[in-house]
Structure formats: structure tokens, C-alpha cells
A and B are shown apart, each in its own frame.
Chain A
Amino acid sequence: METRVDNERPRQERRVAAWIYVVINPIIDSLERELGLLENGKLSWRSNTSRCEYVRTIQEYVDSRQWPNYKDFLHEKENEVFLEAFGMHDAELEKVNAEAERLYKLLLSWDEFSRGISVSLDRYEQHRATQPGWPSFYSVRKELDQVVAENLINNVQSLPRHYVYSFFWNFVASEQLGIRRHSEFRPLLETQAELRAVSSKLKAGLEDHRLSLSRKYDIPAAPVPGLQVDY
């Protein structure tokens, strides 16, 4: 019987293993975390950088030392569909960041918002008189507007007690969070939902693609200690 030599078999398993282990898997893991945050409205948007801290562009989900593998992944025809999908994700994220920025500026320029915080602050300070050790926030009145605006955008329900603003925020959060029902929040919530839909689809697409690459090149979906990919 003649031994069959499979000359057709593509000899690029190492590259494909690199795509799976340092590109696809970290992106899937990051999208999983991103979806968890978005599900609860926890954007982690920061006013000092005008962007979400833990929701990032797809390339940023890959370790920067592996960016050559990321670019290699996107160069190949069999992966090219993801060039567009990654772009869609990043475009949606940009919209979220822009909406958060717009809303933040709007809140800070909105007299009613500031007056509401003053009312909450007075109520807090009155209550504080009966609570030994609670700090006063009168001296940081302006910062309070910024902290509250950021917490509203990020849907922060409560802060850990060791965070400096936790005393105030945990006292007023329930009344302040009601502002999120205002129509001005709608565009942010909509873009957030759109990003979530795109991310969810992208994650599913990457999982399917990983499965097809694993089957085609006989590469496990994650490195197995002691099991080397046959080159």
C-alpha cells in the first residue's frame, strides 16, 4: 500500500497557534469582561482621559508585545472579516466615549444638576453631625459635581468605604442615580447598548473562528502544558 504524503496540508501551524493564543483568546477574554461591565452600565469612563478605562479598542486588548502577531492575523485572507468587525467595535466605543464626554460637560453646565448636589450635600452635612468621623465635603464643593457626574455616567451604585468620596456618594447615590432616567441620558444608554450588541456578536464570531482554526490546523484552543503543537 502506498504511503500518502499530504502535500496540501498548510505548514503554518505556529502562526495560527500564535493567532489563537496571543490574539484571539485575549480578545475573547477581554470582550467577556467588557460585556460584563456593559451589562451593568459600568462604563468605567474617566473625565481626566475622556475615555473608558476598562473598555478599550480591540488592539489594546492584545498585549503590545504581541501586536506584530495581531497585525499578522489581520493580514491573512481567512481572518480579514475581523478587520471590519474590529473597526465596528472601535467605532461604537468611540461613540460611547463621545456621548459620555458630551453628557459630562452637559451635567457640569446644568444649574439644576448643581443645585441638586447642593441639596444633597446639605442633607449629608446635617446627617454628618450625628456621625462621628464622617468627613465634610463643603471645601471640595466643585469636585463633588465632577465626582457625581462621573458616577452617574458609570452607574456607580456604591463605592468601597476606603475611597475618599464614598461617605458622600453612598449617602446620596440612591437619589442622585434617578437622574439617569432623564432624557439627556438616552443617547449614552443607546450607544452603550449598540456597543454591547457589536461586542457580543464579535465575541461569538471569534469563538466560531477559533473553533474552525483549531479544527483546520489541529491546534488546541488553549495551550496544554506538555502538549506541543506538531510543527
Chain B
Amino acid sequence: MAESKILLLDTGPLRELVLYSAVENLGFASLKKEMQFLQTKNRYENLAGFISNFRQRKTTPHVVSEMSSWILRTFESGRANIWRLVFEEFTRMHMDEQTIELVRMPCESVIKLGATDTGLLEAASELGAWSTTVLSIDHALIAECRGAGLHALHLRDVVEADAV
């Protein structure tokens, strides 16, 4: 158990949590095909268990913006319920947002990775390399984090673990 550690969530894992809840709790069966990593209850429980090990769960406003864009792009109908699920997930897991303004980001990094990934990198550095874990499905971001001495995990490695 990582008592004082912080989990920094990228868009992919959050999207999977919302999709799982939409399919399993609200019966949006057609969304099952959108899920990439949480197709089984066991995988979902592995992720939930992993998140529960962290006392603080954080994301960034850029990630929220990506979630918004995904919802607008993906859901012609039922959009209201998806947003309600997002609010529910954020509220119930006590999600906090770490703001990194664009002008505080290294311009070259934004050019290379975009504002969302750079924001996550900067947020992880600011929160402390030793106490923060970045969770993502983006291999490029994970590689960048590791290159910068930050702890980053791919969602697949978390949900496929035998025991968390």
C-alpha cells in the first residue's frame, strides 16, 4: 500500500472506467466495443484495486478537455448520462486536478507531445517524481515519463496483473 502516493490519470484509463460503468451499471451494451482494456470484471477490479492503493488521485484540466472532446465526438445520444458518469467517477474517487498553465510548459515539449501529455509530465514532476505514478495507455507518454525519471505505467500492465 502506497500511503502517501499520488496517482496521476491520463485520458485512457478514465475513459475506460466511464465506459465500464456505462456498460455494466447503465446497460449501454453497444459501448462494449469501445472498451479496449476493461472487458472483464476481473480487469476492472484490478484497476479499481490499483487506484485504491493511492491516497490521492489527480488528473489535469487538459485531460478533462480530452474527455470532453471524446464525449462530443462519440456520443450523439446518451451524452448526458456519460457526463453524469464522469462527474460520478470524479466525485466518488475524490479526483483532484493539477493545473499547469500552457505558458509554464516547455514550448518544445508541447510541439513534440502536445499540451495534454506535456501537462501530465510537468504535473508529475511538480508533484514529485518519487511520490507520483502516471497511468496511461499512451506508450509515447510513458516512454517520455520514464526518460524523465518519472514512474509511469501502462493500463494493460495494471489490469492484466494476477493480483494487485
Contact B52 A166 (CB under 8 A): yes
B: interface residue count bin: 20 to 34
Is A224 on the interface with B (CB-CB < 8 A)? Answer: no
Minimum distance in angstroms from B91 CB to a CB of chain A: 9
Contact B79 A63 (CB under 8 A): yes
Contact B27 A160 (CB under 8 A): no
Contact B27 A33 (CB under 8 A): yes
Residue of B nearest to A134 (CB): B1
Contact A133 B27 (CB under 8 A): no
Q: How far is the CA of A166 from the CA of B45 in the complex (A)?
A: 13
The interface centre, meaning the residue of A36, A53, A60, A163 with most chain B CB atoms within 10 A of its CB, is: A163
Contact A161 B49 (CB under 8 A): yes
Residues of A within 8 A of B84 (CB): 53-54
Residues of A within 8 A of B88 (CB): 53
Q: Which of B27-80 contact A (CB under 8 A)?
A: 27-28, 44-45, 47-49, 51-53, 55, 57, 76-80
Residues of A within 8 A of B17 (CB): 162
Is B3 on the interface with A (CB-CB < 8 A)? Answer: yes
Residues of B within 8 A of A163 (CB): 92-93
A133-B77 contact given A32-B27, A36-B27, A161-B45, CB 8 Å threshold: no
Q: How far is the CA of A210 from the CA of B112 in the complex (A)?
A: 52
Taken residue by residue from 122 to 166, chain A's Cβ proximity to chain B (1 for < 8 Å, 0 otherwise) reads as 000000000011010000000000000000000000011111111
Q: How far is the CA of A54 from the CA of B45 in the complex (A)?
A: 23
Q: Which of A46-77 contact B (CB under 8 A)?
A: 53-54, 60, 63
Minimum distance in angstroms from A151 CB to a CB of chain B: 11
CB-contact partner of B1 in A33, A63, A133, under 8 A: A133
CB-contact partner of A164 in B77, B81, B93, under 8 A: B93
Contact B48 A33 (CB under 8 A): no
Is B94 on the interface with A (CB-CB < 8 A)? Answer: yes
Q: How far is the CA of A132 from the CA of B78 in the complex (A)?
A: 41
Contact A161 B48 (CB under 8 A): yes
Total of A-B residue pairs, C-beta within 8 Å? 51
Minimum distance in angstroms from B56 CB to a CB of chain A: 11
Is B26 on the interface with A (CB-CB < 8 A)? Answer: yes
Is A187 on the interface with B (CB-CB < 8 A)? Answer: no
Q: How far is the CA of A42 from the CA of B94 in the complex (A)?
A: 22
Q: Which of A152-203 contact B (CB under 8 A)?
A: 159-167
Contact B52 A162 (CB under 8 A): yes
Residue of B nearest to A32 (CB): B27
Is A26 on the interface with B (CB-CB < 8 A)? Answer: yes
Residues of A within 8 A of B51 (CB): 161-162
Residue of A nearest to B2 (CB): A133
Contact A133 B53 (CB under 8 A): yes
Contact B1 A54 (CB under 8 A): no
Residues of A within 8 A of B81 (CB): 54
Minimum distance in angstroms from B34 CB to a CB of chain A: 17
Minimum distance in angstroms from A35 CB to a CB of chain B: 10
Minimum distance in angstroms from A164 CB to a CB of chain B: 5
Residues of A within 8 A of B26 (CB): 33, 37, 54
Q: How far is the CA of A116 from the CA of B69 in the complex (A)?
A: 45
Contact B48 A162 (CB under 8 A): yes
A26-B48 contact given A133-B3, A133-B53, A164-B93, CB 8 Å threshold: no
Q: How far is the CA of A166 from the CA of B53 in the complex (A)?
A: 12
CB-contact partner of B93 in A33, A53, A63, A162, under 8 A: A162
Minimum distance in angstroms from B13 CB to a CB of chain A: 10
Minimum distance in angstroms from A64 CB to a CB of chain B: 8
User: 6 closest pairs, A vs B, by CB?
Assistant: A133-B1, A162-B51, A161-B48, A163-B92, A161-B52, A162-B48
